[in-house]
Amino acid sequence: MSNSAKETTSTIIPGLRYADAGAAIDWLCEAFGFERGLIVPDGDGGIAHAQLTFGNGMIMLGSARNDPFSQLVQPPAQTGGIGTQSPYVIVADADQHYAQAVAAGAVVVREIQDEDYGGRGYSCQDPEGHLWNFGTYDPWLEI
């Protein structure tokens, strides 16, 4: 890795597709605490590209479309409900974050618990079925 990459805020940024990206943006901000960055409408009522931040991390997302790239990345509903990735997000207080996500309607698939490897966390799905993991374990401290 180049030195300049180590100095940037985040070198890996997950990308997701949503059937209703506008609603997903609102929900991700309310439930998980993401903050809106760049939001680019697609001209057809969807989102061509959006950037949401959380601490020094970021996700990018957009509306599922019928184009070549979208055939490679689809919402879980288009893959039989199965996701192919599950971002892990470091949070300061897992219990508070869990309560906020549950209050917003997150579907908990792994209850909040202390982890054998350290930290405390849980896993849930957003309204479109993407799997998310949140916890206090910081793997960067192990390097």
pLDDT digits (tens, 9 = 90+) for 20-68: 999 999 999 999 999 999 999 999 999 999 999 999 999 999 999 888 8
Specify the pairing of strand 107-114 against strand 35-41: unpaired
Give which of 55, 19, 12, 11 is closest to 37, Cα–Cα.
55
* pLDDT tens per residue, range 63-109: 998 888 878 888 898 888 888 889 999 999 999 999 999 999 999 99
Q: Tokens 């184009």, residue? A: 67
Q: Which tokens is 89 given?
A: 């997000």
Q: Hey, where are the domains in the chain? A: 3-142
What is the spatial distance between Cα 85 and Cα 91, in angstroms, rounded to a whole number?
Answer: 19
Pairing of strands 88-90, 131-135: parallel
> What CATH code is assigned to 3-142?
3.10.180.10
Q: Which residues contact 19 (CB under 8 A, 6 or more apart)?
A: 63, 64, 75, 77, 78, 128
What does pTM read for this prediction? 0.90
